[in-house]
Amino acid sequence: MILVLALTIGALFSLGTYLVLQRNLTRVIIGLALLTHGANLLLLGVGGKAGEPPVSGIDPSTMSDPLPQAMVLTAIVISFSVTMFLLALAYRSWTLNRSDEVEDDVEDRRIAREPVRDAEDRL
Amino acid sequence: MLVLIALHFVVALSAPFAARAFGRRVLLLGAAVSGVTFAWLLLRTGDVLNGEVLSEQLVWVGDIGLKLSVRLDGFGLMMALLVSGIGVLVFLYATAYMPREKNGRFCGYLIAFAGSMLGLVLSNNLLGLFVFWELTTITSYLLIGWEDTLESARSAAWRALIVTGAGGLAMLAGFILIGQAAGTYELSAITEAPPGGVAVAVGVGLVLLGAFTKSAQFPFQGWLPDAMAAPTPVSAYLHSATMVKAGIVLLARFAAPFSDLDFWQPVVIGIGLTTMLIGGVRALQQTDLKRLLAFGTVSQLGFMTTLFGVGTSEAIAAGVAVIFAHSLFKAGLFMVAGAVDHEAGTRDLRELTGLRHRMPVTFWVATICAASMAAIPPLLGFLSKELAYDELLHSGDWGIVALAGIIAGSAITLAYSVRFVWGAFWDKTPSGAPSAARVPEPTAAHEPGLGLLGPPALLAALSLLFGLWPEPAAALTGAAAEALDQVAEVHLTLWNGLTLPLVLSLVTIALGVGLIALARTSILGGREFEPRFAPDAGYRVFVDGLGVSARYVSAAVQNGSLPVYLGVILVTAVALPSAALLSTDGLGIDTSRAGSGIQIAVCALVIVAALGTTLARRRFVAVMLLGAVGYGIGTLFIIQGGPDLALTQFVVETVGVIGFMLVLRHLPQEFVRRRHRPTKVLRAAVAIIVGVFVTLFALVAFTARGAVPISDYFIENAESLGGGKNIVNVIVVDFRGLDTLGEISVVTVAVLGIVSLVFAVRRGRGGDPDAPVTELARDDVAEPAPSEAP
Amino acid sequence: MRPARSVILEQGLRATFHTILLFSVWLFFAGHNAPGGGFPAGLVAGSAFVLRYVTFGTDGLPRLAPELLCGFGLVLAAGTGFGSWFLGGQFLESDVIEIHLPVIGEAHMSTVAFFDAGVFFIVVGIVVGILRYLGSEPDSSEAETSP
């Protein structure tokens, strides 16, 4: 099982990375979602063996660790809201530019290409 | 004392508002603040001269010794009296000098500067001292660059900021080294029991660096003459009693405890003498009266540095007297130069002629101050210099070395003092050579008013008064010297009998006169001198180099491509821990933990769905498969024993897919295809590296639980402390409630972000701009920020 | 934009909407001792509005601005923290309040319930916010600009 879980996490991270490195904003968002899933699973897996739901009154030795669960719980909601924010960003990019591709930063490219100006001009 | 310092800043902040009501007279407000300070100090003078020490403190961060503690000892009293007393005169002078407009901000800066300086001289905590030090740097930057339409003023302000700011950083490092070694940051405690060791020596070296930059010592002297771009009241204040004295104050405080370090005497004396001579020679070459005085200040600062470099009790006593005398005459000289500039419209000594007839009172004030600078009896400058000669004779070998250099420097001082008076007031033919045959038409000007003449006249009178009646000055400087070094005494007397110092003083005067006679056409001539090697070259090369290298670095690192940034971050995130992972041996990977068939099946489903969503060409398909991944994860949560999680995950996934749908219906169905093989391969390579690393990491981490988990505490106490049986919920809302508070804040911010993004779109496309909610999108539209009224 | 009407959906919703809301309230209170709590309860309540949005379009959404809902939740949660602070405890320190109810008898609730309620409102707020700002608003603005 541990091997299967690790492989699943690895696959989620790998595919998420592949998507995040693309220029299409929708794919980047999907990639981030995959990365989040992987991270959540990892957190939970690090918490130890599977067990009973952590509710007071049952034997702690059969209980699964509550702390990673609490962390994952908040992580799920955070990543959900961030994903939605990114979607709004993609929507805005589309309505303004008719494109949801992430282009290179124009200003950065310009600075990188431009010849060195006299430093004193900048003072 | 703390209240007085705070008062400065409060008034400084309110000055721009007060200016609306009072106009130029707002500067009198500054005079009032300095005056109150001065009066308060005078009331305490008797106690302090009797050896009492007043101290106050305000603990800020106690654990690291960060306190605002001030201490009024003899030296602090003398410096504070100078800062506030000359402050009063400068503010009065500025009231007459400054143009009528926009004085509020100027006044605010100047008061803030006075407050910072007061804090600096009174501060007893190294960290507090550093804060005030930096405050003087910032406020002086604002003051030097006051004429912000002039390129020269802006670059001069920059230069002062860069040089003194860099020195300040070095000094902070030095303070920390010393403070850590001493176990305290209280200056009085450190000087009482100075720490030792290599770290302290390095620390003292760094502090010296800071002091040298601030007090314009070689090779950092260049910023000071440039700073003459400031309005004259600022120059008179910054370069007589305050800003440039900050470094000297530090040297004075450190001289007694640290001058027995091996490098102290050679380094400080060497730099001090070099500065004194270079400053003096450069002063002789200037045609601008203020620049002449500025180089004179550099030279005098070198003189003081040399005295504290010698570091014996005697030399320290002399140094204190010289600080006192210099503050009086140099402030007066700057004010005179400003008055001449103000009345005649120029301060180029080649254009000024015959002003001694037109401005006789100004002429005499200038002459007295200059004579004090040149150490002519019976003025205070003479007394202090003779004291210096006397004390150096008793200060060992280094004292003699310093003495020889100082005599040479003083001869030059005499020469440029003469040049100043000659340049400003004497009769000259336009070509520059003095001519007895033909007296040209004097420059059109008349005697300045009381506002411009009163303050320097008072300072000149004091120089004369303390020369003839030195007891008060001796008492004050004596107490100051005693505060620095318990055995130091100041003997300021006009007539000591025919002693060796008197002979040396006469020799100095003779040398100075001889120098003028030898180089008459240069010293009493208007030939402008361009140094063959520009001393500014180092600074220029440094600043230019910084700009060029910053360009190359940002062009290389910040290339504007998001995938490249992310790739670099990911590879780094993988490379560093995997190096650590591989370097440790004996990673026990326990693969024995069994899993059920259903777990394996769900995992397989998750992987397949994730693969599908990655490769999907159509957006909707990708999102649906993403949903499938989410449900799979939710199922895994159930198996792992987290029903809360599973419930949350299922609902989030559902709402999330709907959110995707709502947005994607606006977008084209298919992704744009890119057929660039190399980048695809590179992406895949990075992805595989990350995947492999994470898999290994997970395997190790799963079985690496060594310590007792904190969860045990949560499990035991959830019901008794949190009042609930659902431990996960109790952790979320109670044990780690602060985390959750932060998290829901993020969620709220995300909602606000969504709102403003959507409305920004609406507005950008010409939707109804008056819709009430568009307020939220305001920042997204390129609107000029409402400029603040000065 | 109002979707095409579906009688089945409308009637089904009439039956389920309040049931789902009630379920979310139950989840909220159960969350103390059994699986549930502010996060899942808020999401469930939010999903009730998803159903309403699917059925009735914009008209199905509450008129209250979602960001206000979030703000209210944040104030409530932070207020709980400050409340215990002002009452002499530490920030966010909790206490159990015993309530004597005439018929039901003894009940006790922890002050963290207020904090949890804040979480609940914020989660409802973001779900409704998504529906309104990613759903209704673009619809109406597109209707404006492209008649």
What confidence tier does B204 reach under pLDDT thresholds 50, 70, 90? very high
Identify from B572, B645, B655, B730 which residue to disrupt to test chain A contact, counting A C-beta atoms within 10 A and taking the largest count: B645
Least confident of A45-49, B199-203, B548-552: A45-49
Name which of B752, B311, B422 is nearest C122 in CA terms.
B752
Question: Average pLDDT, stretch B487-511?
Answer: 83
Lowest-pLDDT range of B163-167, B616-620, B735-739 = B735-739
Given an 8 Å threshold on Cβ–Cβ distance, is A80 in contact with C35? no
> Are B655 and A80 spatial neighbours (Cβ–Cβ below 8 Å)?
yes
Beta bridge partners of B125: B186
Tell me what pLDDT residue B136 has: 92
pLDDT band for position B304 (50/70/90)? very high
Residues of chain C contacting residue B732, judged by C-beta atoms under 8 Å apart? 37-39, 119
Nearest-angstrom CA–CA distance, B507 and B313 = 25
H or E element, residue B61: strand B54-61
Residue C72 in contact with partner chain B when CB distance is under 8 A:
no
Name the residue of chain A whose CA is nearest to C133's CA: A88
- Mean predicted confidence (pLDDT) in B117-127: 91
- Position B340: which residue type? V
- Report whether B294 contacts B228 (CB < 8 A): yes
Tell me if chain B has a CB within 8 Å of the CB of C42. no
Which of B722, B734, B767 has its CB closest to that of C145?
Answer: B767
Under 8 Å CB-to-CB from B743, ≥6 apart: which residues? A74, A77, A78
According to DSSP, the β-strands at C105-110 and C96-101 are: antiparallel
Chain C residue at shortest CA distance from B720: C96
- β pairing state of B66-72 and B54-61: antiparallel
Q: How would residue B762 be classed by pLDDT, with cut points 50, 70 and 90? A: low
Q: Are B733 and C70 a contacting pair at CB < 8 A?
A: no
Rounded to the nearest 10 degrees, the angle between the axes of helix B313-344 and helix B74-97 is 0
Instruction: Name the pLDDT band for B780 (thresholds 50, 70, 90).
Output: very low
State the Cα–Cα distance between residues B253 and B123, nearest whole angstrom.
11
User: Within an 8 Å CB–CB cutoff, is residue A53 touching chain B?
Assistant: yes
C38-48 pLDDT per residue, tens: 888 998 999 89
pLDDT tens digits for range B261-290: 888 889 999 999 999 999 998 888 888 888
User: What number of other Cβ atoms are within 10 A of residue B597's Cβ?
Assistant: 7
pLDDT in tens, A27-40: 899 999 999 999 99
Tokens 């550099």 locate to B298
Mutate to test the interface with A, among B151, B727, B736, B749 (most CBs of A within 10 A): B727
Q: CA B510, CA B523: separation in Å to the nearest integer?
A: 16
pLDDT at B587: 60
Q: Write the CA distances from A95 to B618, C2, C142, integer angstroms.
A: 19, 22, 10
What are the DSSP calls for chain C, one per residue?
--PPP-HHHHHHHHHHHHHHHHHHHHHHHHTTTSS--HHHHHHHHHHHHHHHHHHHGGGGS-SS-HHHHHHHHHHHHHHHHHHHHHTTS-TT---EEEEEETTTEEEEEETHHHHHHHHHHHHHHHHHHIIIIIIIHHHHHHHHH--
Q: For residue range A78-115, what is the model confidence (pLDDT) as tens digits?
A: 999 999 999 888 888 888 777 777 777 777 777 666 65
Interface membership of A42 toward B (CB under 8 Å): yes
C24 pLDDT above the threshold of 70: yes
**C133 pLDDT tier (thresholds 50, 70, 90):** confident
Which of chain C's residues have a Cβ under 8 Å away from the Cβ of A40?
none
pLDDT of residue C104: 55
For chain A, the structural domain boundaries read: 2-52+63-113
φ, ψ (nearest 5 deg) of residue B55: -145, 150
Chain C contact present for B638, CB below 8 A: no
Task: Write the CA distances from B233 to B83, B342, B633, integer angstroms.
Answer: 14, 12, 73
Task: For residue A70, give the nearest of B666, B712, B731 by CB distance.
Answer: B731
pLDDT confidence of residue B122: 92
d(CA A10, CA B607): 10
Which C residues, 37 through 96, put their C-beta within 8 Å of a C-beta on chain A? 39
Q: Is A45 on the interface with B (CB under 8 A)?
A: yes
Helix (H) or strand (E) holding B56: strand B54-61
Domain that holds residue C32: 7-145
Q: Is C76 on the interface with B (CB under 8 A)?
A: no
Tokens 């409060």 appear where? Answer: B10
Residue-level pLDDT at B589: 61
Q: Which of B40-49, B274-283, B711-720 has the lowest mean pLDDT?
A: B711-720
Number of domains, chain C: 1
Average per-residue pLDDT for chain C: 78
Does residue B563 have a cis peptide bond before it, meaning omega lies within 30 degrees of 0?
no
What ipTM is given for this predicted complex? 0.88
Which fold is adopted by the domain A2-52+63-113?
Helix Hairpins (1.10.287)
Residue C11 confidence (pLDDT) above 90: no
Among chain A residues, CA nearest to C131: A84
**% of chain B with per-residue pLDDT over 90:** 24
B728 at interface of A, judged by CB pairs closer than 8 A: yes
Question: What pLDDT, on a 0 to 100 scale, did the predictor assign at position B118?
Answer: 92
Check: CB of residue B700 under 8 Å from CB of residue A6.
Answer: no
Mind telling me how many Å the CA of B644 is from chain C's nearest CA?
5
Q: In this model, does residue C34 exceed pLDDT 70? A: yes
CA torsion B41→B44→B49→B52, rounded to 10°? -120
- Tell me what percent of the residues of chain B surpass a pLDDT of 70: 89
Rg (CA), chain A: 22
At B499 the pLDDT is 83
pLDDT in tens, B567-588: 888 888 888 877 777 776 556 6
Q: 3-state SS string over B452-486?
A: HHHHHHHHHHHHHHHHHCCHHHHHHHHHHHHHHCC
Q: Is A89 on the interface with C (CB under 8 A)?
A: no
Average pLDDT over residues B323-331: 91
Query: Is the pLDDT assigned to residue B786 strictly greater than 70?
Result: no
Instruction: Give the whole-number percent of chain C exceeding pLDDT 70.
Output: 75
Query: What is the reported pLDDT for B606?
Result: 92
Res. C93: pLDDT tops 80: no
Q: How far is C70 from chain A (nearest CA, A)?
A: 12
Mean pLDDT of B758-765: 64
**Residue, of B60 and C52, whose pLDDT is higher:** C52
Q: Which chains touch C (3 or more CB pairs under 8 A)?
A: A, B
**What pLDDT score was predicted for residue B121?**
92
Please report which confidence band the pLDDT of residue B774 belongs to, taking 50, 70 and 90 as the band edges.
very low
Chain A residues within an 8 Å CB radius of B556: 112
Interface contact C133-B754, CB threshold 8 A: yes
What six digits make up the tokens of B728? 């996960």
Look at residues B599, B213, B41, B336 and name the one whose alpha carbon lies nearest to residue A44: B599
Instruction: Please list the residues that pair with B56 across neighbouring strands.
Output: B70
d(CA B507, CA B697): 82
Tokens for B719, please give them: 């019901």
In a domain, C1, yes or no: no
Evaluate whether residue C2 is within a structural domain: no
- Give the whole-number percent of chain A exceeding pLDDT 70: 88
Predicted confidence at residue B116, as pLDDT, reads 93
Nearest to B555 among A8, A24, A112 (CB): A112
How confident is residue A5, by pLDDT bands cut at 50, 70 and 90? confident
Q: How far is C79 from chain B (nearest CA, A)?
A: 11
pLDDT tens figures, B125-168: 898 899 999 999 999 999 988 888 888 888 888 888 988 888 99
Where exactly are the structural domains of chain B?
Answer: 262-527, 714-790
User: Which of A81, A95, A98 would best serve as a mutation to test chain C binding (most C beta carbons within 10 A)?
Assistant: A81
State the pLDDT confidence band at B594, using cuts at 50, 70 and 90. low
Q: Tens digits of per-residue pLDDT, A50-68?
A: 677 777 777 777 777 888 8
A67-72: average pLDDT: 88
Where residue B723 falls (left for φ over 0; alpha for ψ -120 to 50; beta otherwise) is left
Mean pLDDT comparison of B214-218, B272-276, C63-67, C140-144, highest-scoring range: B272-276
pLDDT at site C147? 39
Cβ–Cβ gap A84/C130 under 8 Å: yes
Q: Kindly report, residue by residue over B18-30, the tens digit of the pLDDT.
A: 887 777 778 888 8
- Please state the rounded mean pLDDT for residues B629-643: 89
pTM over 0.90: no
Return d(Cα B402, Cα B383) in angstroms, integer.
18
For chain C, say whether A80 makes contact (Cβ under 8 Å).
yes
Is B683's CB within 8 Å of A111's CB? no
Mean pLDDT of chain A: 81
SS3 A77: helix
For residues B8 and B593, the model is more confident at B8
Averaged pLDDT score across all residues of chain B: 83
User: Residue C146's pLDDT is what?
Assistant: 46
State yes or no: pLDDT of C107 exceeds 70. no
- What's the rounded Cα separation, in Å, for the pair A31 and A12? 9
Output the pLDDT for position B40. Answer: 92
Between CA B325 and CA B330 the distance in angstroms is 9
- Check pLDDT > 80 for residue B393: yes
Which band of pLDDT confidence, cut at 50, 70 and 90, is reported for residue B15? Answer: confident
Residue B628: closest C-alpha in chain A: A34
pLDDT recorded at residue B530: 54
Q: Are B375 and B325 in contact (CB under 8 A)?
A: no
Q: Do A77 and C130 touch (CB under 8 A)?
A: no
Asked if A85 reaches chain C (Cβ–Cβ under 8 Å), the answer is no
CA–CA distance, C16 with B447 (Å, rounded to integer): 96
**Amino acid found at B604:** A
Q: Given this model, what pLDDT does residue B300 score?
A: 92
